[in-house]
Amino acid sequence: MALYKTQGPIVVAFLSALIVIVSNFVDAPGLGQLSTDVKSFGAIIAGFALFVGLLGIMQSHVNNVTKRKPLWQYSVLLVAVLVLFIAVGLAYGANSTQFLWIYDTIYGPLTATTYSLLAFWVCSAAYRAFKPRNLESGILVFTGLLTFFGIQPIASVISPIFYNIQSFIMSVPNIAGSRGIVIGIGLGVIGFGLRVLLGWDRSWMGAD
């Protein structure tokens, strides 16, 4: 495979990271502006990724429709609403009354409804699955119940002890445990970042 395909992306990634990292420690003329420009490139690429995602969704659902895959009718609906949003947004603007009307009547209620249904599913799933099958799951169930219930205003009405227990769990064991996890994640991110920059990990390039 051509060198620019295998090594080119690694060189670009390495140089970009080097500029940003060095600019944090060295106050050289022009380096600060170069670092700012590199960060702006990142922001532009992130914006472009949204467009790529849009193309991917369109391709996937148009494929569903043309090949009459199961539930293809929903794909028709999705593509139709997508095209409607884009057309109205381009014609009237994203802040126009028309665009906001579609948002308030279609997107907003559907998103809120989908999220609200989770409450019922979580309740049913918790009733069936939230059981202490061993010591660790027993501790999880017990502390989870205390935290979940203690945070509610009604718990304070029943007894102030529930709020105090919840507060203690959130402030002490929760923070102790999650701090360890966050430190571990941070170390992992540093390690992974080094592997990417040095070319040892090429999964982000689509390579094995």
Q: Give the residues lining the site for another protein (CB under 8 A).
A: 20, 32, 35-36, 39-47, 49-50, 94-95, 99-100, 103-104, 107-109, 111-112, 114-115, 119-120, 123-124, 126-128, 130-132, 141, 145, 148-149, 151-157, 163, 167, 170-171, 174-175, 178-179, 182
Closer CB to another protein, residue 56 or residue 73?
56
Closer CB to another protein, residue 8 or residue 138?
138
Closer CB to another protein, residue 67 or residue 114?
114
Q: CB–CB of 150/162 below 8 Å? A: yes
Distance CA 154, CA 150 (A): 8
Closer CB to another protein, residue 63 or residue 177?
177
Closer CB to another protein, residue 66 or residue 164?
164
Closer CB to another protein, residue 15 or residue 145?
145
Residue 88, token pair as written in the block: 């109205």
DSSP calls for the chain: --HHHHTHHHHHHHHHHHHHHHHHH---TTHHHHHHHHHHHHHHHHHHHHHHHHHHHHHHHHHHHHTT-TTHHHHHHHHHHHHHHHHHHHHH-TTSHHHHHHIIIIIHHHHHHHHHHHHHHHHHHHHHH----SHHHHHHHHHHHHHHHHTSHHHHHH-HHHHHHHHHHHHTHHHHHHHHHHHHHHHHHHHHHHHHHTTS--GGGT--
In whole angstroms, how close is the CB of 2 to another protein at the nearest point? 28
In whole angstroms, how close is the CB of 3 to another protein at the nearest point? 27
In whole angstroms, how close is the CB of 11 to another protein at the nearest point? 19
In whole angstroms, how close is the CB of 154 to another protein at the nearest point? 4
In whole angstroms, how close is the CB of 205 to another protein at the nearest point? 19
In whole angstroms, how close is the CB of 169 to another protein at the nearest point? 10
